[in-house]
Amino acid sequence: MLNQAEAVSGERVFRRNPLRSAVGAIVLSAVLSAVTLFVLPKFLPRTMNISTRGMLVLVVAIAVTVAVFAGFFWFRNIRIVVRPDAVEIGKAGNRETFLRATTAFRSKITEHRTNGLPSGTTRALIVHTGDREITIELPGYSRPMFNELMATLNPIALPVFDDPVAAARAGAQLPTQFTIEAAGERRLATRITVAAVVFLIIAIGVGLLVAVPGFVDSEFSALILLAPFAAVAAIGFGIGAVQRRRRVRSIPAQVSVDSQGIRIDGVDTPYAQLARVWLTPPAYPVKRLRFERAAGKTTTHLLASSRVDITPDYGDLLLAVRARTAHLPGLLSLDLE
């Protein structure tokens, strides 16, 4: 289990991006105003004169615009202020303060799907204080902002040992060398690539047959219908193959951890060059290691999934990185997708 620390220096403020909120409010209010302009007059009495109808539509459009901006900038604008001893959560005129010593925080992320396709993600903060459990949805919080919020509220800390020797012994027992086997992922990428090539050959072959004199009038002319379907399939499998090949390239063969940095396939990445090391929680089905460099560049490595195995266990890797970065508090954080 990962213990959590409460060491946060200074004060940090988290809220949705005001520029994005303004753009979203303008777009939504414009769409709703247009709908009001074209739909509302159909429901008004025909005996109403034009000026009255126009005034009523204008009033409704203004009311809709005010409601949209109020929703974006007040009702759904949750501001969180994290201090060393307390956390203030809420919106203007309705804020509540929780003492960190008696409050626990955890995340809740829900991925929504429509007809099997991802259609959005809802991120929420769950607050446990006394006998109360409060779920606070955070609309407008992006994945990086939400991750930073949870990293600030629950920074990963080492277990507390009364005896320094026991602490050193516990750290020494953790593995430092990890091997990743990605044969399953490579096989899948190969199969998708082969499928793309086969469909491409079919599309090209049928296209060449069309150029053969007399083929269009022959009994095999119905094969022409295969061309567009094969072309679409080739494009789809081609895109999938490119994505899978990129995924395979992100899988290292060897990972080693020490007190100075992390080595990926013989390439050292010193902690001094990193602003943050992000590791996926062990309970996630897909586990990644992400380096956020001080210069702003990020690098992501896939370490474990249903087709990728890591030895020893991924949980041991997380514990090892936690132990080796103990002298750099705040460097290691959990990447909540």
Predicted structure pTM score? 0.71
DSSP 8-class letter at 50: H
Over residues 71-97, the pLDDT tens digits come to 777 677 888 999 888 999 987 667 889
Q: How far apart are CA 13 and CA 141, in angstroms?
A: 13
Strand 274-279 relative to strand 332-334: parallel, antiparallel, unpaired?
parallel
What integer is the mean pLDDT of 276-283?
Answer: 91
| Residue 70 bridge partners (DSSP) | none
Q: Nearest Cα to 8, choosing from 154, 160, 146?
A: 154
At residue 92, the pLDDT reads 66
| Residue 262 bridge partners (DSSP) | 257, 269
Share of the chain above pLDDT 70, in %: 91
At residue 31, the pLDDT reads 87
pLDDT of 315 over the 70 cut: yes
| Residue 247 bridge partners (DSSP) | none
Mutual angle of helices 314-324 and 164-172, in 10-degree steps: 140
- The separation between the first and the last C-alpha atoms of the chain, rounded to the nearest angstrom, is 20
At residue 6, the pLDDT reads 38
| CB neighbour class for 128 (10 Å; exposed up to 12, middle 13-18, buried from 19) | middle
pLDDT of 240 over the 60 cut: yes
Over residues 102-119, the pLDDT tens digits come to 899 989 888 888 877 777
